[in-house]
């Protein structure tokens, strides 16, 4: 077995870009549909999987939101999250910062409290049983308007002890970050950290806006940054983390193939990148597969792989002492 691949598998890693609803595997989707008596427009798992043939972000999101409709009860959110934490153990993820999309549940009548409690209780159990640490990030859906985001922020306030940050996801093009300036300002005032998807498909201007209007601590994706050299200079100088998701970018056709991905170029330029799985149940692999396939396609050296893994801890919301403890083990 190749020494670098062995290293990837064994090394502790942090995951910083993971949508918990995107870990809903077809098997669990069917099980929950049956348990909750929900009709889904696919006869079996093979038929469902054949629909996972995306042409862009929008084509994926249609299937993704449809899949989330089987999540109704607190137990469903617990089971979903529990399946993911088992993958973390398998892949040696020791710290994870996960997104959830409350508006996609609340807007179909599911109670906010049961969503957050189901997710949180599974993460707590994982911490007790095998030491996984985690943070929860609540995302606003950018295809909805800011008033809807403000309403969901109000509902989140009583769960401030469980949610560390707010983020921005869903359809990017046509929904610039500045549309959410007020809600992010309010979230910061209430003590939340901030991140945002930007420059996945959208232009570098959206990355500027996320930095300048939303005051984000990290950019999710950010792979379009090379279209603006001044922006690249800023991202390098300030070491602003970019949470890169290689297999996602291939499935959503941001790049044609992994060999064309710009993550090695990002690394060569000194950008603060790490690798993540985004929506692994839909994009064909969890974190180790993202690392291993990228290493093979771009011929990453052991040193480069180590840098990426160290970056995953450096860019996390862990405290400095904990970051140093993990980094000393890489």
Binding segment (CB under 5 A) for Zn ion, from list 42-50, 74-82, 202-210, 274-282: 274-282
d(CA 44, CA 152): 35
Query: Is residue 198 left, alpha or beta, with left meaning phi > 0 and alpha meaning psi from -120 to 50?
Result: beta
- Report, in Å, the least distance between residue 44 CB and ligand ADE: 24
d(CA 59, CA 254): 13
Q: State the binding partner of 264 from Zn ion, ligand ADE, none, CB within 5 to 8 A by kind.
A: none
Binding segment (CB under 5 A) for Zn ion, from list 36-44, 103-111, 201-209, 270-278: 270-278
Binding segment (CB under 5 A) for Zn ion, from list 3-11, 54-62, 261-269, 272-280: 272-280
- Report, in Å, the least distance between residue 254 CB and ligand ADE: 9
Nearer to ligand ADE, 197 or 261 (CB): 197
- Report, in Å, the least distance between residue 105 CB and ligand ADE: 13
User: Can residue 278 be called a binding residue for Zn ion (CB under 5 A)?
Assistant: yes
Q: State the binding partner of 208 from ligand ADE, Zn ion, none, CB within 5 to 8 A by kind.
A: none
Q: Out of 15, 91, 200, 293, which residue is the one contacting ligand ADE (CB under 6 A)?
A: 200
Is 20:99 a contact under the CB 8 Å cutoff? yes
Residues 238-277 that bind ligand ADE (CB under 6 A): 248
Site size toward ligand ADE (CB under 6 A) is 11
- Report, in Å, the least distance between residue 66 CB and ligand ADE: 13
Nearer to ligand ADE, 9 or 205 (CB): 205
User: Can residue 102 be called a binding residue for ligand ADE (CB under 6 A)?
Assistant: no
Count of positions (residues) in the chain: 330
d(CA 261, CA 248): 11
Burial 86-114 (b: 16+ CB within 10 A, else e): ebbeebebbbbbbbbbbbbbbeeebebeb
Is 198:206 a contact under the CB 8 Å cutoff? yes
Q: Give the DSSP letter string of 149-205.
A: HHHHHHHHGGGTTT--EEEEES--TT--GGGGHHHHHHHHHTT-EEEEEESSSS-HH
Q: How far apart are the first and last CA of the chain?
A: 19
Sequence-distant (6+) residues with CB within 8 A of 168 are 139, 140, 142, 177, 180, 184, 195, 196, 197, 198, 210, 214
Nearer to ligand ADE, 172 or 304 (CB): 172
Q: Out of 15, 74, 79, 279, which residue is the one contacting ligand ADE (CB under 6 A)?
A: 279
Is 271:232 a contact under the CB 8 Å cutoff? yes
Query: What residues form DSSP beta bridges with 165?
Result: 137, 193
Q: CB nearest ligand ADE: which residue?
A: 169
- Report, in Å, the least distance between residue 170 CB and ligand ADE: 5
Please report the sign of the dihedral spanned by the C-alpha atoms of residue 122, residue 124, residue 130, residue 132.
Answer: positive
Q: Out of 11, 18, 22, 28, which residue is the one contacting ligand ADE (CB under 6 A)?
A: 22
User: Can residue 172 be called a binding residue for Zn ion (CB under 5 A)?
Assistant: no
Closest CA to 304 of 293, 295, 316: 295
Q: State the binding partner of 304 from ligand ADE, Zn ion, none, CB within 5 to 8 A by kind.
A: none
Residues involved in catalysis: 200
Q: Out of 69, 87, 175, 197, which residue is the one contacting ligand ADE (CB under 6 A)?
A: 197
User: Can residue 278 be called a binding residue for ligand ADE (CB under 6 A)?
Assistant: yes
User: Can residue 19 be called a binding residue for ligand ADE (CB under 6 A)?
Assistant: yes
């Amino acid at each position: 077995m190749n020494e670098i691949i062995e290293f990837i598998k064994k090394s502790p890693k942090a995951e910083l870009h993971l949508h918990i609803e995107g870990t809903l595997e077809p098997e669990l989707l069917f099980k929950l549909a049956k348990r909750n008596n929900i009709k889904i427009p696919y006869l079996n798992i093979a038929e469902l999987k054949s629909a996972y043939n995306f042409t862009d972000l929008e084509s994926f999101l249609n299937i993704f939101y449809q899949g989330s409709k089987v999540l109704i009860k607190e137990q469903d959110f617990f089971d979903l999250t529990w399946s993911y934490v088992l993958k973390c153990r398998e892949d040696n993820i020791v710290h994870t910062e996960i997104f959830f999309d409350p508006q996609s549940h609340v807007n179909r009548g599911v109670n906010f409290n049961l969503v957050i409690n189901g997710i949180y209780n599974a993460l707590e159990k994982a911490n007790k049983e095998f030491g996984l640490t985690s943070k929860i990030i609540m995302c606003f859906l950018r295809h909805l308007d800011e008033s809807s985001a403000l309403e969901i922020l109000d509902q989140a306030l009583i769960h401030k002890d469980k949610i560390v940050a707010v983020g921005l996801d869903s359809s990017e093009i046509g929904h610039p970050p500045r549309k959410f300036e007020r809600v992010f300002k309010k979230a910061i005032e209430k003590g939340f950290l901030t991140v945002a998807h930007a420059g996945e498909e959208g232009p570098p201007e959206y990355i500027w806006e996320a930095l300048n209007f939303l005051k984000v601590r990290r950019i999710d994706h950010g792979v379009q940054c090379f279209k603006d050299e001044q922006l690249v200079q800023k991202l390098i100088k300030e070491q602003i983390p970019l949470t890169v998701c290689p297999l996602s970018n291939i499935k959503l056709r941001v790049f044609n193939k992994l060999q064309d991905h710009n993550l090695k170029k990002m690394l060569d330029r000194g950008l603060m990148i790490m690798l993540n799985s985004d929506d692994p149940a839909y994009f064909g692999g969890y974190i180790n597969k993202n690392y291993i396939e990228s290493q093979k396609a771009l011929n990453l050296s052991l040193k480069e792989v180590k840098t990426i893994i160290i970056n995953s801890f450096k860019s996390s919301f862990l405290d400095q002492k904990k970051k140093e403890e993990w980094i000393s083990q890489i």
